[in-house]
Chains A and B, each alone.
Chain A
Amino acid sequence: MSVPAPAAAGVPSVPNAGAVADFALRADGLRKNYGATVAVDGISFGVRAGEIVGLLGPNGAGKTSTINMILGVLQPSAGDIRIEGIELARHRSQALAHTNFAAVYAALPGNLTVYQNLRFFSLIYDVPAGASRIEQLLDEFDLQRLRNTRSGLLSSGEQTRLALAKAMVNEPRLLLLDEPTASLDPSAADLIRGRIRAMAARTGCGILWTSHNMYEVEETCDRVLFLSRGRILLEGDPRSLPRVHGASSLEELFIRLAREPLANEPPPAAPALKRDAPGAAP
């Protein structure tokens, strides 16, 4: 199998007209350069309300740079990000009020207790009735008995639950999860995935999820985006993509995409590009 050419920049994978409010996130022509190095190369995609989108790719593909740009801690070199229709570059505070995230590399301060961490972030996000929201989250994520424990002393599973509780503190419309189950055992990971799926269905929160666990992606995500060298190579349903591209599993497809050299320039037509997802362009 040859690696499909990347989607051409300027070919958005989000609809251009109508239903803007249906999108928790829209990124158009997103690009990040570090000098001559291109980390993210003009990608466009969207995440609908209630949809879980997997952002996949090998290390260095541009996943974390993409997430950091959406979180407002990395300024794009070009492109536009809209969260709930609000332009991030112009209305950063308003846009991020609808957003939250959990990432393995962004542990919460270990010297604060579970309760103190949630209190701190409920205030940072200006959550009204924060105290009752915290109690609700402590119950929901089974953290009541740990409320006075310093978060640095929690197990990996407990820390993940706390990170997710923090990520839900402002009832976000867009949730960014960067390898949320990376340090969990299969049982704990399964429980967390279940919680996140249920939460997305219940609240209509759009989720952008990065993971290297292809089983997890197939099980959890409604749609996936394959990134390589800053470009989106493939997009579609994680359950049908392997079959369409002649791979036996998503993992096999991932390995091929990660190992085969990427064409420097996209061919005139990109026949291998599959867009069968709800957010795909016509």
Chain B
Amino acid sequence: MKLRPIAAIALRQLYLMRSSPTRVLPMIAWVAIDIILWGFISRYLNTVASTGINFISSLLGAVLFWDFFTRVMQGVTMAFFEDVWSRNFINVFATPLLISEYLTGLVLTGITTSVIGLIVMLLLATFLFGLPFFSLGMLLLPFLLVLFLFGIALGVLASAMVLRLGPAAEWLVWPIPALLSPFVGVFYPLSVLPAWMRALGHLLPPSYVFENMRSVVGGHGYSGNALLTGIALALLDILLAAWLFSSIHRYAVRSGLLARYSAESVS
């Protein structure tokens, strides 16, 4: 892999963000709205509930982690969608660019945009609602790592889906985090789920983050094995997603889909 082609994909996104506030605003606005809304809900629950649970830590913390994961995924897909929207596939893929370089460039973009979102959320959650985010200490690293890796995997998977099904499939991408959220136990332990949902939840890496987060906030410590399982699953998901993207790209080259890619030609 060469550095310049990877940098090109990330630089293009930087150019677009620099010249277009409409691309930057949603990165900040949606996470800010989420934090403010859930911050007040958490504060209210702390005043009315006598469960001993600190909702700021457990609820608002969960929202922050979930939004971070969503931003990572969307950062990857948005960079890919730029090529869909500007019908740029031939220009990009009729070059020496390797698929691995292209995907790495998308990931680099995802890192940048998600970190911006994370900083905004941390500032708001800490200063407005007193979220003791850093009280999780070094555990933050594996928590964020699992969510980051799984966000990349889903972003690449969603991009592969749109490459195969066409631009209209973009509308199938946005609800993916919402579809997954009931299974990963963002706001409740997996134990409340029926067996089949719980089984599915155990296959999804974020469930290990949220289970551990609740355990730590409740003063019960964390499970290193569970976190390692989450990291391993997320890495496996990245490999699977990259393989799928690569396979679909090969199919698109073989069938002529890539050369004719447009909303009208893809079915």
With A73-B253, A74-B256, A107-B87 known as contacts, the answer to whether A124 contacts B92 (CB < 8 A) is yes
- In the assembled complex, the Cα of A127 lies from the Cα of B8 at a distance in Å of 11
A74 touches B5 (CB 8 A): no
Size class of A's contact patch?
35 or more
Asked whether A85 is an interface residue with its Cβ less than 8 Å from the other chain, the reply is no
Taken residue by residue from 85 to 125, chain B's Cβ proximity to chain A (1 for < 8 Å, 0 otherwise) reads as: 01111111111111000000000000000000000000000
B91 touches A74 (CB 8 A): no
Asked whether B240 is an interface residue with its Cβ less than 8 Å from the other chain, the reply is no
A112 touches B15 (CB 8 A): yes
Which residue of A108, A116, A119, A124 contacts B97 across the interface (Cβ within 8 Å)? A124
A124 touches B258 (CB 8 A): no
Chain B residue contacts of A92, Cβ below 8 A: 96
Asked whether A72 is an interface residue with its Cβ less than 8 Å from the other chain, the reply is yes
- What's the nearest-Cβ distance from chain A to residue B31, in Å? 24
- What's the nearest-Cβ distance from chain A to residue B259, in Å? 4
B86 touches A123 (CB 8 A): no
- In the assembled complex, the Cα of A94 lies from the Cα of B11 at a distance in Å of 23
A111 touches B20 (CB 8 A): yes
Taken residue by residue from 224 to 267, chain B's Cβ proximity to chain A (1 for < 8 Å, 0 otherwise) reads as: 00000000000000000000000000100111101100000000
Which residue of B16, B90, B95 contacts A124 across the interface (Cβ within 8 Å)? B95
- What's the nearest-Cβ distance from chain B to residue A151, in Å? 10
20 extra interface residue pairs, beta carbon distance < 8 Å, beyond A116-B12, A121-B95, A124-B92: A64-B259, A68-B259, A73-B89, A74-B253, A93-B96, A96-B94, A106-B90, A108-B88, A109-B88, A109-B91, A111-B19, A119-B11, A120-B15, A123-B8, A123-B11, A124-B5, A125-B95, A126-B2, A126-B5, A126-B96
- What's the nearest-Cβ distance from chain B to residue A275, in Å? 30
- In the assembled complex, the Cα of A116 lies from the Cα of B97 at a distance in Å of 18
- Closest 6 A/B residue pairs (Cβ): A123-B8, A71-B94, A109-B86, A93-B96, A97-B96, A68-B259
With A74-B259, A96-B96 known as contacts, the answer to whether A126 contacts B16 (CB < 8 A) is no
- In the assembled complex, the Cα of A108 lies from the Cα of B8 at a distance in Å of 14
B2-33 CB contacts (< 8 Å) to partner A: 2, 4-5, 7-8, 11-12, 15-16, 19-20
With A74-B259, A93-B98, A109-B88 known as contacts, the answer to whether A123 contacts B93 (CB < 8 A) is no
Chain A residue contacts of B259, Cβ below 8 A: 64-65, 68, 73-74
Chain A residue contacts of B82, Cβ below 8 A: 109
- In the assembled complex, the Cα of A123 lies from the Cα of B254 at a distance in Å of 27
With A68-B259, A111-B20, A120-B12 known as contacts, the answer to whether A75 contacts B93 (CB < 8 A) is no
Asked whether A23 is an interface residue with its Cβ less than 8 Å from the other chain, the reply is no
- What's the nearest-Cβ distance from chain B to residue A100, in Å? 8
A123 touches B5 (CB 8 A): yes
B91 touches A106 (CB 8 A): yes
Asked whether A110 is an interface residue with its Cβ less than 8 Å from the other chain, the reply is yes
Asked whether A103 is an interface residue with its Cβ less than 8 Å from the other chain, the reply is yes
- What's the nearest-Cβ distance from chain A to residue B197, in Å? 42
- What's the nearest-Cβ distance from chain A to residue B112, in Å? 16
8 contacts between A and B (CB under 8 A): A65-B256, A74-B256, A105-B90, A107-B87, A112-B12, A112-B16, A120-B8, A126-B4
Which residue of B5, B15, B19, B258 contacts A73 across the interface (Cβ within 8 Å)? B258
Total number of residue pairs linking A and B with CB closer than 8 Å: 96
With A93-B96, A106-B91 known as contacts, the answer to whether A75 contacts B11 (CB < 8 A) is no
B93 touches A72 (CB 8 A): yes
Which residue of B90, B96, B250 contacts A125 across the interface (Cβ within 8 Å)? B96
- In the assembled complex, the Cα of A126 lies from the Cα of B101 at a distance in Å of 12
Taken residue by residue from 53 to 95, chain A's Cβ proximity to chain B (1 for < 8 Å, 0 otherwise) reads as: 0000000000011001001111100000000000000001110
Chain A residue contacts of B92, Cβ below 8 A: 124
Taken residue by residue from 68 to 98, chain B's Cβ proximity to chain A (1 for < 8 Å, 0 otherwise) reads as: 0000000000000010001111111111111
Chain B residue contacts of A119, Cβ below 8 A: 11
- What's the nearest-Cβ distance from chain B to residue A104, in Å? 12
Which residue of A34, A121, A124 contacts B256 across the interface (Cβ within 8 Å)? A34
- In the assembled complex, the Cα of A109 lies from the Cα of B82 at a distance in Å of 9
B91 touches A108 (CB 8 A): yes
- In the assembled complex, the Cα of A112 lies from the Cα of B256 at a distance in Å of 27
- In the assembled complex, the Cα of A108 lies from the Cα of B82 at a distance in Å of 12
Which residue of B2, B16, B88, B254 contacts A75 across the interface (Cβ within 8 Å)? B254
- What's the nearest-Cβ distance from chain A to residue B43, in Å? 41
Chain A residue contacts of B15, Cβ below 8 A: 112-113, 116, 120
- In the assembled complex, the Cα of A64 lies from the Cα of B259 at a distance in Å of 9
Chain B residue contacts of A124, Cβ below 8 A: 4-5, 8, 92, 95-97
